[in-house]
Amino acid sequence: MARPANPQTHARLVGTGGDLVRRQGFHATGVQDVATAAGVPKGSFYNYFATKEGFGLAILDAYWEEIERDHLARLDDRRLNPADRVRAFFRGLSQMHADTGFGPGCLIGNLALELGNTSDPVRERAALLLRRWDAALAACLEGAQADGTLQSGLEPAALAAVLVEAFEGAVMRAKVERGPTAFARFEALLSVFLPKRPKTT
């Protein structure tokens, strides 16, 4: 009889395993590597994940939960106007990458590039998470359009997708260059669409 799953062990496998995959890639990270990092026997891995692909889906979901908790909440911060929320959101993400030395990159983008042609489940999950990101950003851009910060001729949903795509490109460039210059360029691009309002006295 299989031993019942332990939530703490599952969390360690996903947490430490996800960190390994972000740093060294999915294919370069073996099941033994994940198990060792989590402090469990290799065989225990399969008590939690039927396949390594299933593990990939789990670490994607956990990464997205972290993004939702630590970053997407900024888009709902009613203390700021919508444009400032968008700026705060992207600055928070940029800082997250700076804090890790720019090397690990974005797990969604990493797995999409590494497994997009070989794993439909991972590709579809990555696409779903990007659409969720688009939707959350579009809702905030609609608010910016309503208050006149974002010009009326732009479509918030389309602009949200473009900004996500541009930011993911900046993440890749920062990963290659190990520096923040790409994020500075992204922020300059963002200011074209969402110019800062002059302070009123």
Asked if pLDDT for residue 1 goes beyond 50, the answer is no
- State the chain's mean pLDDT as an integer: 93
- What burial class does residue 110 get, using C-beta atoms within 10 Å of its C-beta: 0-12 exposed, 13-18 middle, 19+ buried? buried
135-158 exposure pattern, b = at least 16 Cβ within 10 A, e = fewer = ebbbebbebbbeeebbeeeeebee
> Does 152 share its domain with 177?
yes
In a domain, 201, yes or no: no
Q: How confident is the model at residue 167 (pLDDT cuts 50, 70, 90)?
A: very high
In a domain, 70, yes or no: yes
The CATH number covering residue 153 comes to 1.10.357.10
Q: How far apart are CA 171 and CA 141, in angstroms?
A: 22
The CATH number covering residue 20 comes to 1.10.10.60
Segment 108-117 shows an average pLDDT of: 95
In a domain, 200, yes or no: no
pLDDT at 2: 46
Q: For residue 198, give the amino acid letter.
A: P
Identify the CA nearest to 19 among candidates 116, 98, 104. Answer: 104
> Which tens digits make up the pLDDT trace of 36-92?
999 999 988 999 999 999 999 999 999 999 999 999 999 999 999 999 999 999 999
Domains contained in the chain, number: 2
In a domain, 35, yes or no: yes
